[in-house]
Chains A and B, each alone.
Chain A
Amino acid sequence: AQSVTQPDIHITVSEGASLELRCNYSYGATPYLFWYVQSPGQGLQLLLKYFSGDTLVQGIKGFEAEFKRSQSSFNLRKPSVHWSDAAEYFCAVGPHYYSGAGSYQLTFGKGTKLSVIP
């Protein structure tokens, strides 16, 4: 069964500092990979996704993530954090193909809460 591990429950960084959030997955094949962000009391917003091709993907709000097959990782990075980036971040994986079974389900990690010190 697929699983997603986000080893850091809570990370605190100073505004302007760089950020890396870790995500490791367990999957039978190369999955589709996603990073979502959730502000308090809100739904999830897609930051970026990886399906194939260039292993470094760019997303919204200045975020990027790198897929490393050998490490089964898809870490999220940002060179300079802004106070507005404080939120919960979720990594998710899904099948590499559409099985046609009627739905495409994502498996989410437990999330990493990011706090930003002004």
Chain B
Amino acid sequence: GAVVSQHPSWVICKSGTSVKIECRSLDFQATTMFWYRQFPKQSLMLMATSNEGSKATYEQGVEKDKFLINHASLTLSTLTVTSAHPEDSSFYICSATGEAPYEQYFGPGTRLTVT
């Protein structure tokens, strides 16, 4: 139980284009979803927190207009990287919590490369 999926697992896009990453909770309803960014050999950096039906709460320094987060249902959250640039290349990981707010279940991550 408590499986979180992400799609795509990797994506390559050209500079200036937008990319959407999906995060789904497969066997539970996710009251809250988190989006993290991980640079090579570094820890996870929380980008934003989203609750179903509400606007996402972004961490300081994260551009809201560049990283659009939509939490349309209790099983789906999307992260759209708009007008992507090479510096946006990174590993993006989502997580979700269900009935137990203390326990985050992580997706497998999405590798984004912007050329």
Contacts and interface: CB of A to CB of B under 8 A. Distances in A.
A43 B93 contact: yes
A44 interface: yes
A interface, by DSSP: helix, strand, loop or mixed?
loop
A6 B32 CA distance: 27
Which of B44, B46, B49, B91: most chain A CB closer than 10 A?
B44
A91 to B, nearest CB: 10
A7 to B, nearest CB: 14
Band of interface residues on B: 20 to 34
B102 A41 contact: no
B109 A42 contact: yes
Band of interface residues on A: 20 to 34
B25 to A, nearest CB: 13
A32 B108 contact: no
A111 B43 contact: yes
B85 interface: no
Nearest to B111: A41
Contacts of A32: 102
Contacts of B49: 102-103, 105
A109 B41 CA distance: 12
B interface, by DSSP: helix, strand, loop or mixed?
strand
Interface stretch (A18-26, A45-53, A74-82): A45-53
Interface string B87-115: 00001010101000111111111010000
Which of A42, A46, A49, A104: most chain B CB closer than 10 A?
A104
Contacts of B46: 105
Interface of A: 32, 36, 41-46, 49, 51, 90, 94, 98, 102-106, 108-111, 113
Interface of B: 4, 6, 32, 34, 41-44, 46, 49, 51, 54, 57, 91, 93, 95, 97, 101-109, 111
Given A41-B109, A46-B103, A105-B46, 7 more contacts: A41-B91, A43-B4, A43-B95, A43-B106, A43-B109, A90-B44, A110-B42
